[in-house]
Structure 1
């Protein structure tokens, strides 16, 4: 295994924190475990040379590869089902009522990874609105820092074995079967999700109208508290009064340092007034 020395480790940790907000200061073993073999196979003699390669690559592909290696992109359809029950029972009825005139719902999947969260949300909206869906604009914004991950999400091809948690009938309704192992999101549902590259450390540019709901689940586990609080405050500024923020169940927001109303574990709301 190619060992990372202190200077290389500090340089990589500082870069990831400053550029992406990701704290790897206690992840030395993870860094070596995920990068060592790849560096050896590609002929890099040390980690500094590899980071130089990432920074000098104008295409962005090397940095993209580094991000994928060092962050966990594990997600799946219907992850944390309590969120989707609350979405259907509480959030969507509220949004249908308050947005009855405009017939729009502004939803953002921030840190969307391979797209399962955004597509699951789109399915629930379709089920909730039923025949009224054609009258509504409920397209979901889905952002991530990884171009490669977003390309896969936009393509919408998933292993059939990963769809087992979806309700009965949804696979046939929302997917086309490619073969015995893979399924692809139907075109009409793919059109309901708009994928964009965005680094959550940057100022939020999506200010045409406030968001009704923001998902940012299992993203902030990588962040230090200061970074996390700054991000949720930026979310607060672009949420409508009464809008919701869903975070991961392994995450929390300190109630004494936030303007959000705590609803239940991993669900927060911007006060109506």
Structure 2
């Protein structure tokens, strides 16, 4: 089947319209200078829907019949960079300083914007290794994201050998099962870890249906995509969902110095209620 040739440029007005829509729906702030990125990502949807220009696509998503396209639009506009044990200093600090404090039977973690699940499963493996009596305690990890495509991968819990490059050989053998051919270079997380993780779709801008409270919240490398008012609102909501003494981890490029908050600074990118 011959695909339509897409030659039209994304005009400034169209970029503004997309930016305003994405901001209203999920809080992502598409700054000036992101026009080429937005165009490249939208091209995927134009090809999928066989539109030849951006104006037709924008009319479609604003129509009654285009409501289901909104989720796909958000999906292509979100950045999903992640890896196992990313920013390992955080996992070291969790192991050495936080886990020894978590002595109650019920312990709750939340990885907000979990992408394709690597962060949540990294946490699960660490807890299986380092949390005392973890098999006999009520320990759960909530992993949420806005991207349906990423959540599907997290649900499947299958990763390539390249995606597992930061997983030690010991952890690979202990917590993964090699998928049978033809996917011979792929590995699935074992049920001992998968059972600890609940994967769910959540737009951080919407109401949060879970009750909490959480002992630890990871929201790393997400707030850089939000403007200051959205960051402020999000940080205050995290505060209300943490237990007294609970911890918030943000990305190392996301310090809270420019935001008014109640958290106590612990170390770079680590805060405590």
TM-score, normalising length from structure 1?
0.89
User: Cα distance 1:127–1:143, how it changes in 2: closer, same or farther (>3 A)?
Assistant: same
Equivalent position of 1:32 in the other structure: 39
- 2:110 corresponds in structure 1 to 108
TM superposition shift of 1:255: 6.2
Of 72, 82, 86, 1:75 maps to: 82
For residue 230 of structure 2, what is the aligned residue in structure 1?
Answer: 227
Aligned with 2:261 (options 248, 258, 263): 258
The equivalent residue for 2:130 is 128
User: Aligned residue for 2:14?
Assistant: 8
Q: Would the alpha carbon gap of residues 92 and 255 (structure 1) be closer, same or farther in structure 2, given more than 3 Å must change?
A: farther
Partner of 1:10, secondary structure, is helix
Deviation at 1:169, TM superposition (A): 0.6
Which one has a larger percent helix, Structure 1 or Structure 2? 1
Q: 1:144 aligned to 2:145?
A: yes
What's the offset of the Cα at 1:123? 0.5
Residue 22 (1) aligns with residue 28 (2): yes
Q: TM-score, normalised by structure 2?
A: 0.89
CA distance in structure 2 between the partners assigned to 1:72 and 1:231 by the alignment: 18
Listed one character per residue, the Cα deviations across residues 139-185 of structure 1 (whole Å, up to 9, x for unaligned) are 10111111221111011000012212123410011110015310011
CA distance in 2, matches of 1:150, 1:37: 19
Q: Residue deviations 1:48-100, cap 9 Å, x none?
A: 4323434545784x33332232222111101000000011001111112xx2x
Structure 1 gap segments, 5+ residues each: none
Alignment of 1:206 onto 2:210: yes
Secondary structure in structure 1 of the residue aligned to 2:139: coil
Distance 1:109 1:256 in 2: 21
Stretches of structure 2 lacking an aligned partner (at least 5 in a row): 1-6
Tell me what 2:70 maps to: 63
8 A contact 1:2–1:36 mirrored in 2: no
**1:157, 1:108 → 2: CA distance?**
21
